[in-house]
């Protein structure tokens, strides 16, 4: 348990945002301390994102967590969008010159923990009752409890990397915060199975029965999702029921040839679009899911957290090392400019590929027309590809 009372940047949350920010600040000689609510085992047990934008790969390389990603990550030059048996290939490489890397967030987080351990950074797990004070003073304090003891740490800046259900966002006064939200009436039932992937590239499938996604983690670990009503419970979905529903939504050739097997993880994730403004309140800066949530249809969640870290790490280095406030003053607007564009893309992919219970026949026609436009128009495919591989920082 830490006995420290001071740090330069206190980071709340030991997920990918907090860990990556801490690693980049430490590499620049800035002292940090991470306060994490869960155990490390719990953080590393969460199955989340699977696709890394090229910008994310660059940032992880800059942070020194590159070897395993280079060894085990699978470069993908494209993906498929399908409507029953119509398969439209989006060739990222041809259209943008870029590719994405399939490498699980769990692996990224594990590598970041290992790098932070090697750095000797203090990460306090099992913290509760975090309270952030004096954000309008030159030095702020973060109070927290751990193993029954109340502690506090004095710091110059606080990074709120504590996800959607954290305390940071609500530390900004309600009358200062402007929140934007769209809750979708469905979730994603996700399954991990030790089976070869159904296809060499991801398939985002649209069908009368709803959305499905065929993804992967490696050549013998597949990740699948199907759209389910938010009222569904995981234990209502046997493996057999899941595989049958998935196959009905994928192109028939894929469904016939794919291998199924026992699920090793099964969970339902709700879908929402959410953003809060501003991302700064005095010495506090919101990063990643603490600031925004996107539906995973655009594979943006983790990648957007990384671009927030890109903007904030440079700003904090300037503020701490050179006492220049320019970067931190600009952080919120700079990060939000990219956040809103990714928010739009994720919303567009979600509305284009999911069925809404109250939709009329016109909506189905619009989905099919969008897909057939993508099939025929290189311009439309380039627009999708540019957003999917990641807009510039
Ligand atoms: P995280 O939520 O990962 O980390 C926040 C950390 O803060 C957690 O470890 C939490 O324990 C801790 N914390 C919370 N409150 C605290 C407090 N009061 N004090 C201290 N610590 C506190 N993105 C994709 O791109 N593709 C996907 O397929 C995808 N699937 C997802 C499925 C689910 C179920 C969820 C929830 C998210 C998914 N995401 C996906 C988005 C996800 O990958 C996030 O974008 C990513 O985890 C963001 O990282 P962080 O900002 O670090 O937030
Ligand atoms: C995943 O593999 O978990 C994944 C991939 C792409 C997405 C969402 C999830 O858009």
Q: Does the beta carbon of 296 lie inside 6 Å of ligand 2?
A: yes
Per the CB < 8 A criterion, the answer to whether 185 and 35 are in contact is no
Same domain, 57 and 128: yes
Q: Look at ligand 2, atom 6, and give the residue with the nearest C-alpha.
A: 299
User: Which ligand sits closest to the CA of 17?
Assistant: 1
Q: How far apart are CA 383 and CA 131, in angstroms?
A: 43
3-class SS of residue 180? strand
CA distances from 195 to 172, 184, 251, 254 (A): 46, 30, 18, 14
Same domain, 263 and 281: no
Helix (DSSP H) and strand (DSSP E) numbers for the chain? 12, 20
3-class SS of residue 153? strand
| Predicted confidence (pLDDT) per residue in 73-99, tens digit | 999 999 999 999 999 999 999 999 999
> Where residue 342 sits, what CATH number does that domain have?
3.50.50.60
- Rounded to the nearest integer, the mean pLDDT of the chain is 96
Same domain, 116 and 196: no
Query: What pLDDT does residue 226 have?
Result: 98
Angle at 78 between CA 203 and CA 260, to 5 degrees: 30
User: Which ligand sits closest to the CA of 132?
Assistant: 1
Q: Is residue 62 part of a domain?
A: yes
CA distances from 203 to 127, 164, 229, 249, 294 (A): 40, 28, 21, 11, 19
Instruction: Copy the structure tokens of residue 192.
Output: 């991990």
Q: Is residue 83 part of a domain?
A: no
Catalytic residue from among 300, 311, 331, 354: 300
The torsion angles phi and psi of 319, rounded to 5 degrees, stand at -70, -45
Q: How far apart are CA 109 and CA 376, in angstroms?
A: 40
| Predicted confidence (pLDDT) per residue in 92-125, tens digit | 999 999 999 999 999 999 999 999 999 999 999 9
**If you compute the radius of gyration of the chain from its CA atoms, what whole number of angstroms results?**
21
Q: Does the beta carbon of 289 lie inside 6 Å of ligand 1?
A: yes
Question: What secondary structure, in 3-state letters, does 42-75 show?
Answer: HHHHCCCCCEECHHHHHHHHHCCCCHHHHHHCEE
3-class SS of residue 233? coil
d(CA 83, ligand 2 centre) in Å: 18
Does 215 have pLDDT greater than 90? yes
Between 322 and 3, the higher pLDDT residue: 322
Is the peptide bond preceding residue 278 cis, with omega within 30 degrees of 0? yes
Query: What pLDDT does residue 2 have?
Result: 52
| Predicted confidence (pLDDT) per residue in 137-166, tens digit | 999 999 999 999 999 999 999 999 999 999
Structurally, how many domains does the chain consist of? 2
Structural domain of residue 65, as residue ranges? Answer: 3-75+101-181+272-349
Q: Does the beta carbon of 299 lie inside 6 Å of ligand 2?
A: yes
Q: Which atom of ligand 1 is nearest to the CA of 293?
A: 45
Q: Which atom of ligand 1 is nearest to the CA of 288?
A: 51
Q: Is residue 383 part of a domain?
A: yes
Q: Is residue 86 part of a domain?
A: no
Query: What pLDDT does residue 94 have?
Result: 98
Does 4 have pLDDT greater than 80? no
Helices 326-353 & 361-376 angle (0-180, nearest 10): 110
Q: How far apart are CA 9 and CA 197, in angstroms?
A: 42
Q: Which atom of ligand 2 is nearest to the CA of 190?
A: 3
Same domain, 121 and 16: yes
Q: Look at ligand 2, atom 5, and give the residue with the nearest C-alpha.
A: 50
Q: Look at ligand 1, atom 34, and give the residue with the nearest C-alpha.
A: 269
Same domain, 144 and 241: no
Same domain, 121 and 263: no
Angle at 206 between CA 201 and CA 207, to 5 degrees: 130
Same domain, 376 and 319: no
| Predicted confidence (pLDDT) per residue in 21-67, tens digit | 999 999 999 999 999 999 999 999 998 989 999 999 999 999 999 99
Is 204 catalytic? The answer is yes
Where does the pLDDT of residue 364 fall: very low under 50, low under 70, confident under 90, or very high at 90 and above?
confident
Same domain, 223 and 333: no
Q: Is residue 89 part of a domain?
A: no
Which of 29, 48, 13, 16 lies closest to 112 in space, CA to CA?
16
Q: Is residue 167 part of a domain?
A: yes
Same domain, 289 and 146: yes
Q: What is the mean pLDDT of residues 332-361?
A: 95
Q: How far apart are CA 59 and CA 41, in angstroms?
A: 24
What does DSSP say about strands 157-160 and 203-206: parallel, antiparallel, or unpaired?
Answer: unpaired
Q: Does the beta carbon of 160 lie inside 6 Å of ligand 2?
A: no
Q: How far apart are CA 210 and CA 225, in angstroms?
A: 11
Residues in the chain: 393
Same domain, 266 and 343: no
Same domain, 105 and 249: no
Q: Does the beta carbon of 294 lie inside 6 Å of ligand 2?
A: no
Tokens 């057939």 correspond to 372
Q: Is residue 90 part of a domain?
A: no
User: Which ligand sits closest to the CA of 223?
Assistant: 2
Which of 38, 18, 15 lies closest to 285 in space, CA to CA?
18
Q: How far apart are CA 123 and CA 32, in angstroms?
A: 9
Where does the pLDDT of residue 3 fall: very low under 50, low under 70, confident under 90, or very high at 90 and above?
low
CA distances from 282 to 99, 150, 268, 315, 321 (A): 38, 24, 37, 14, 18
The torsion angles phi and psi of 325, rounded to 5 degrees, stand at -90, -5
Q: Does the beta carbon of 390 lie inside 6 Å of ligand 1?
A: no
Same domain, 10 and 71: yes
pTM over cut 0.85: yes
Is 185 catalytic? The answer is no
Catalytic residue from among 80, 144, 157, 204: 204
Per the CB < 8 A criterion, the answer to whether 59 and 19 are in contact is no
Q: Does the beta carbon of 36 lie inside 6 Å of ligand 1?
A: yes
Instruction: Copy the structure tokens of residue 150.
Output: 């109340």
> Where residue 369 sits, what CATH number does that domain have?
3.30.9.10
CA distances from 374 to 206, 224, 384 (A): 14, 24, 9
Tokens 């004095």 correspond to 154
Q: Is residue 384 part of a domain?
A: yes
Is 42 catalytic? The answer is no
Q: What is the mean pLDDT of residues 262-270?
A: 96
């Amino acid at each position: 348990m830490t006995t420290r009372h001071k740090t330069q940047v206190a980071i709340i949350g030991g997920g990918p945002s907090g860990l990556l920010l801490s690693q980049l600040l430490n590499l620049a000689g800035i002292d940090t301390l991470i306060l994490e609510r869960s155990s490390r085992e719990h953080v590393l047990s969460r199955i989340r994102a699977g696709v890394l934008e090229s910008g994310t790969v660059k940032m992880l390389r800059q942070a020194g967590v590159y070897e395993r990603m280079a060894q085990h990550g699978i470069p993908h030059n494209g993906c498929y969008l399908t409507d029953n048996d119509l398969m439209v290939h989006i060739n990222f490489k041809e259209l943008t010159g870029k590719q994405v890397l399939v490498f699980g967030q769990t692996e990224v987080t594990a590598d970041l923990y290992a790098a932070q351990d090697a750095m000797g950074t203090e990460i306090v797990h099992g913290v509760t009752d975090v309270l952030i004070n004096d954000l309008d003073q030159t030095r702020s304090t973060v109070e927290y409890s751990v193993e029954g003891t109340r502690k506090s740490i004095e710091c110059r800046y606080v990074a709120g990397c504590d996800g959607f259900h954290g305390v940071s966002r609500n530390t900004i006064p309600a009358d200062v915060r402007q929140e934007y939200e769209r809750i979708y009436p469905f979730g994603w039932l996700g399954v991990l199975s030790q089976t070869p992937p159904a296809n060499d590239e991801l398939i985002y499938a649209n069908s009368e029965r709803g959305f499905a996604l065929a993804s992967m983690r490696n050549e013998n670990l597949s990740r699948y999702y199907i759209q389910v009503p938010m009222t569904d419970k995981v234990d209502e979905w046997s493996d057999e029921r899941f595989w049958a529903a998935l196959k009905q939504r994928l192109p028939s050739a894929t469904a016939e040839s794919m291998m199924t097997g026992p699920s090793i993880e099964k969970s339902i994730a709700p879908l929402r679009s959410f953003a809060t403004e501003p991302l700064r309140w005095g010495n506090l800066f919101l990063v990643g899911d603490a600031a925004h949530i996107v539906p995973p249809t655009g594979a943006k969640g983790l990648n957007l957290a990384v671009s927030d870290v890109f903007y904030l790490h440079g700003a904090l280095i300037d503020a701490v090392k050179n006492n220049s406030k320019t970067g931190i003053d600009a952080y919120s607007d700079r990060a939000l400019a990219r956040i809103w564009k990714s928010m739009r893309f994720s919303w567009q992919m979600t509305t284009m590929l999911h069925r809404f219970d109250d939709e009329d026949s016109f909506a189905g026609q619009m989905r099919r027309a969008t897909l057939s436009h993508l099939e025929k128009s290189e311009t439309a495919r380039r627009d999708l590809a540019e957003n999917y591989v990641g807009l510039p920082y």
